[in-house]
Amino acid sequence: MKTMRKLFTVLLALAMTLALAVSAFAADTGSITITNPQGNHTYTAYKIFDVTYTADGVNYSYTISETDAAFSTVKAYADVAANGLTLTPVANTNKYNVSIGTGFSAASFAQYLRTNVGSLGTGTAFTKVDNTMKASGLTLGYYFVSGTSGAVCELDTAKDIQIRDKNEVPQIEKTVNDDDGTVEIGQVLTYHITGKVPSTKGYTEFTYQVTDTMTEGLTFSKNVKVTIGGTDVTAAATITNNENGFVASVNMMNYQDQIDAPVVITYTATVNEKAIVNDKETNTAVLKYSNDPANKDSYKESTVTVDVFSFNIVINKYATGNENTKLEGAKFVLKNNEGKYYKCDAATKAVTWVDDKSAATEVSTDANGAARFDGLQAGTYSLEETVAPAGYNQLAKDITIVLDKNGSATIDGAASAPGAAHSLTTGVANSTGTVLPETGGTGTVIFVALGALAVICAGVFLVTNKRMSKESF
C-alpha cells in the first residue's frame, strides 16, 4: 500500500507538471492586429523564423529549419553577404541560428520577401474584429505581413503586436490667419500647413515633400518654419524657396518615435498691389508621399487650397437725372466702422487707416466720372464727398457701404452684387442750383427778409414814378 501510495503521488505530480506545461505551451502564442485596415483588402501573416525566449522573457533568439516553407527564400537572401543576414547550422539538427550584421535592413528584407511572397507558404489569414484585422493563435516567431493594399510589408516578432497599414492617405490641412478670407493690400498673412508623422515601417526610403505655390498677388516672405510635435525641426528639413513658394522635405524615418505627431509648416506672405485686379489670390499646397515599400519611386499626392480676396469700391459720378453726364473733379474720402480714414501708399498700394482726416487719401473723379478705393476687407464703410464738381452741389449725407465676406454688398441698405475682381460700383449723383439751408435757420430768415425788402423797394419805385409823371405832365 505504501508503494502504491508513493507511485500515485509521483504520477499525480507528473500529471500536474504536464498540465502546467500544456497550459504554458498554450499560452505561448501571439497575435498580430492591423489597426487601420484599408477597405476590403486582405492580409496574410507568414512565419519566417522561430523565436526562443530566455526564462525572464526579456532576451530571445531566432532559428529557421530546412523544413520551413520560407527556408529556401531566406537562405538565398542570406547567401548575399552584403545583406547582413547570417544562417549558422546547429550541429546534429536541421536548424540554423539566425544573426544579423551591420548591413542588415529590415525594410530591405521585407521588400525582398514581398517580391517572393509566393514561396513563403500559405500563411495565416487575418479576420475582421470590430474595426481591425487580426491573426490570432500564432506560434511565436518573426512574421512577415503582406496585404492586397500593397503597402503592408511588416516584420515583427509576434507576441500580441499591432501594426499599421501604410496604404492610409496622409492628409494635410491649410489655414490662414484671416477669419473671413478678405484681405487688405499690404496685409501680412500667416499660413499653416498641418499634417501628421506617418509610419515608415517597411520602407528603406520615404518621401514626405510639401510644395506650396501662391499667385502673383501674394509676396512670399521666404521664412518657412517646420515643427514636429511642437519642436522646431527646420534645420533638419530640406527647404528650397522660390519667388512664388517653396518645396519642403522632411525625413520622416527620423521621427518614428512620434508617429501621428502634428507636422506644422508655417510661413508668411504679404498681399501686394497685384491683388487689386485679380478675382482671388490662391495658395495651393501639395503633399507628395511614398505609398509602396517595394517601390521607392511610387508616390501619391494630397492637395489643399486656400483663397483670399480684396474688395474695390469704384465711384461713378454723374449729374442728377442724366447718368451720361459724367462729372470730373469730385473728391471723396472713405471711413471704416472704427472712425478711421483710408490711406493708400501711392507706390505699394498698401492700405492703412489713420485718425486724422487731413492725412487720409482723397480720391478724385476723372473725366469719365470714375474714382476708386482699392484693396479693402469685408466691413462697413462711409463714403464722404469732400469736394463737389464745379457748378454742382456737394452731397449733404455720407453713403454707407457694407461689404460682406461672401462677396455681396449693400449701398445705403440696397443690395448690390460686386462685379469682376470683387469690384463694387456705386453711382453718385450731383444736382445744380441753390440749396437753401434747413427750415428755421438764420439763412432762411435772411432770404425772406431780403425778399420782402425787394418787394418794398419795388412798391416805392412805382409810387415815386407815378408822382413824377403827374408833375411833369
Residue 398 predicted with pLDDT over 90: yes
What pLDDT is stored for residue 201 in this prediction?
A: 75
- Whether residue 112 is contained in a domain is answered as yes
Q: Phi, psi at residue 452, to the nearest 5°?
A: -65, -40
Other beta carbons within 10 angstroms of residue 186's beta carbon come to 19
| Consecutive H or E run containing 34 | strand 29-34
Most confident of 32-36, 258-262, 351-355, 419-423: 351-355
Cα 200 to Cα 290: distance, rounded to the nearest angstrom: 9
Clarify whether residues 396 and 323 are in a common domain.
yes
Q: Considering 163, 182, 216, which residue would you say is the last residue of a domain?
A: 163
DSSP string covering 131-159: TEEEEEEEESEEEEEEETTS--EEEEE-S
Q: 350 and 185 in contact (C-beta within 8 Å)?
A: yes
- Whether residue 450 is contained in a domain is answered as no
Clarify whether residues 363 and 417 are in a common domain.
yes
pTM confidence score: 0.66
Cα 441 to Cα 145: distance, rounded to the nearest angstrom: 95
Cα 237 to Cα 265: distance, rounded to the nearest angstrom: 11
Nearest to 248 by CA among 210, 197, 218: 210
Q: Is the pLDDT higher at 434 or at 130? A: 130
Question: What is the sign of the dihedral through the CA atoms of 231, 234, 237 and 239?
Answer: positive
Which domain covers residue 276, as residue numbers? 173-307
Q: Considering 307, 336, 367, which residue would you say is the last residue of a domain?
A: 307
In the predicted model, what is the mean pLDDT of residues 445-453?
35
Clarify whether residues 134 and 182 are in a common domain.
no
What pLDDT is stored for residue 179 in this prediction?
A: 66
- Whether residue 377 is contained in a domain is answered as yes
CA distances from 245 to 73, 226, 299, 423 (A): 48, 15, 22, 27
What pLDDT is stored for residue 14 in this prediction?
A: 35
Confidence of residue 254 (pLDDT cuts 50, 70, 90): very high
CB under 8 Å to 110, separation ≥6 — which residues? 144, 153, 154, 155, 202, 293
Domain containing residue 268: CATH number: 2.60.40.740
Clarify whether residues 296 and 379 are in a common domain.
no
Clarify whether residues 261 and 356 are in a common domain.
no
- Whether residue 447 is contained in a domain is answered as no
Alpha-carbon Rg of the chain, whole angstroms? 42
- Whether residue 100 is contained in a domain is answered as yes
Clarify whether residues 201 and 152 are in a common domain.
no
pLDDT in tens, 307-331: 998 999 999 999 999 999 999 999 9
Cα 95 to Cα 72: distance, rounded to the nearest angstrom: 13
- Whether residue 385 is contained in a domain is answered as yes
CA distances from 377 to 185, 340, 342, 347, 418 (A): 9, 14, 12, 20, 13
How much of the chain exceeds pLDDT 90, in percent? Answer: 50
Cα 46 to Cα 158: distance, rounded to the nearest angstrom: 11
Q: Which three cell numbers stand for residue 308?
A: 483670399
Q: 424 and 403 in contact (C-beta within 8 Å)?
A: yes
Clarify whether residues 415 and 318 are in a common domain.
yes
- Whether residue 340 is contained in a domain is answered as yes
In the predicted model, what is the mean pLDDT of residues 346-360?
95
Clarify whether residues 115 and 70 are in a common domain.
yes
Q: Considering 288, 307, 326, which residue would you say is the last residue of a domain?
A: 307
Domain total of the chain: 3
Q: 437 and 404 in contact (C-beta within 8 Å)?
A: no
Q: Which three cell numbers stand for residue 362?
A: 482723397
Cα 280 to Cα 372: distance, rounded to the nearest angstrom: 18
- Whether residue 29 is contained in a domain is answered as yes
CB under 8 Å to 144, separation ≥6 — which residues? 45, 46, 48, 110, 113, 114, 117, 120, 153, 154, 155
In the predicted model, what is the mean pLDDT of residues 200-228?
93
Clarify whether residues 317 and 298 are in a common domain.
no
Clarify whether residues 262 and 235 are in a common domain.
yes
pLDDT in tens, 51-70: 887 777 677 788 999 999 99
Clarify whether residues 385 and 287 are in a common domain.
no
Clarify whether residues 29 and 149 are in a common domain.
yes
What pLDDT is stored for residue 4 in this prediction?
A: 44
Cα 289 to Cα 128: distance, rounded to the nearest angstrom: 28
How much of the chain exceeds pLDDT 70, in percent? Answer: 80
Using DSSP's 3-state secondary structure scheme, residue 395 falls into coil
Domain containing residue 347: CATH number: 2.60.40.10
